[in-house]
Amino acid sequence: MPIVYDPFARFYDLEYSHKEDDLPFYLDVADTYGAPVLEIGAGTGRVTFEIARAGHEIWGIDDSARMLAIAAKKQKTLAPETNARIHLHQADMRTFDLPIRFPLCIIPFRAFLHNLTRADQLATLHTIHRHLLPGGILAFDLFVPVHQVLSKGEWHVDIPASELADPAQNVSLSAHITHDPVKQWLAITNIYHDKTADKAARERKARMKYRYVFQPEMELLLLHSGFATRACYGGFLGEPYDFHSGIMCFIAEKMTTRKRNSTA
């Protein structure tokens, strides 16, 4: 996979730093299952820093040097005791290798869906499995591929500057999305219109893809990788999963070899 988020990095916090709906879920799993926490796709530290502020040690990996550079700049502004709990590393989620084992791994904000093939999905889950302690927990959220999205082939969304985190920056966004139902891919082209930049830099393009998964498909991927699904919620406050909620929050447990054999 190319490093997808490098071209997005400059605009990421403008688009998402005000997202807070998932924080109670990830803070709750960190309080319940303990630290050190491993975070996959830590990005600019939106979730990472909240978990560290709550008193938990956290190790985050991300493959985008530019996203991590923004995180590192923000990390310097944190209180020294919070800063000391954070360890960020540039690595690919399919192949990373860290020197410690964790009781909990989180993958916030559907970063798992950047695995575009079954081989990528399984490589990521196997690598996480290897980094968890016996009985360790994997908690993550995905979007549900709802019918309204699956019925379309191609569509367009405009987001005005007023809906981004800092309207004063006068950056707006046009997103063009195409759907490949065979590969289960949504391919997104974002064009950021930066009215304050000089002419040559006024339009910045960035592309990414998600491979969506259905709930039973995710459970099978987990099972195949040595995880038992303990819960799948329909929201960040533990609401029952009902498909239309648009969100799946999974809690899965690393199985021992004996349990794996009896589940097969």
Ligand X SMILES: C[S@@+](CC[C@H](N)C(=O)[O-])C[C@H]1O[C@@H](n2cnc3c(N)ncnc32)[C@H](O)[C@@H]1O
Residue 40 CA, chain-centre distance (Å), reads 7
CB closer to ligand X out of 93 and 132: 93
Position 108 contacts ligand X (CB under 6 A): yes
Residue 41 φ/ψ region, left for φ over 0, alpha for ψ in the -120 to 50 degree band, beta for the rest: left
Contact (Cβ atoms closer than 8 angstroms) between residue 109 and residue 41: yes
Q: How many CB atoms lie within 10 A of CB 63?
A: 21
CB closer to ligand X out of 107 and 252: 107
- List the one residue from 57, 92, 217, 219 that touches ligand X (CB under 6 A): 92
CB closer to ligand X out of 58 and 255: 58
- Residue of 67, 54, 61 lying closest to 17 (CA atoms): 67
Position 131 contacts ligand X (CB under 6 A): no
* Residue found under tokens 């791994």: 105
- List the one residue from 114, 131, 211, 254 that touches ligand X (CB under 6 A): 114
State how far the Cα of 48 lies from the Cα of 219, in Å rounded to an integer: 26
CB closer to ligand X out of 192 and 255: 192
CB closer to ligand X out of 64 and 184: 64
Position 226 contacts ligand X (CB under 6 A): no
Position 145 contacts ligand X (CB under 6 A): no
Position 7 contacts ligand X (CB under 6 A): no
Contact pattern for ligand X over residues 22 through 61, marking x by CB under 6 A: -------------------xxx--xx-------------x
Please, what is the minimum distance in Å from the beta carbon of residue 10 to ligand X? 13
State how far the Cα of 173 lies from the Cα of 190, in Å rounded to an integer: 7
- List the one residue from 38, 49, 63, 139 that touches ligand X (CB under 6 A): 63
Q: How many CB atoms lie within 10 A of CB 223?
A: 17
State how far the Cα of 114 lies from the Cα of 185, in Å rounded to an integer: 10
Please, what is the minimum distance in Å from the beta carbon of residue 262 to ligand X? 33
Contact (Cβ atoms closer than 8 angstroms) between residue 178 and residue 150: no
- Length of the chain (residues): 264
Please, what is the minimum distance in Å from the beta carbon of residue 258 to ligand X? 31
| CA 83-85-91 angle, 5° bins | 95
Please, what is the minimum distance in Å from the beta carbon of residue 212 to ligand X? 14
Please, what is the minimum distance in Å from the beta carbon of residue 140 to ligand X? 10
Residue 98 CA, chain-centre distance (Å), reads 19
Please, what is the minimum distance in Å from the beta carbon of residue 65 to ligand X? 9
Backbone angles phi, psi at 81, to 5 degrees: -70, -30
CB closer to ligand X out of 74 and 259: 74
Chain contacts with ligand X (rule: CB under 6 A): 1, 4-5, 16, 41-43, 46-47, 61-64, 67, 92-93, 108-109, 111, 114
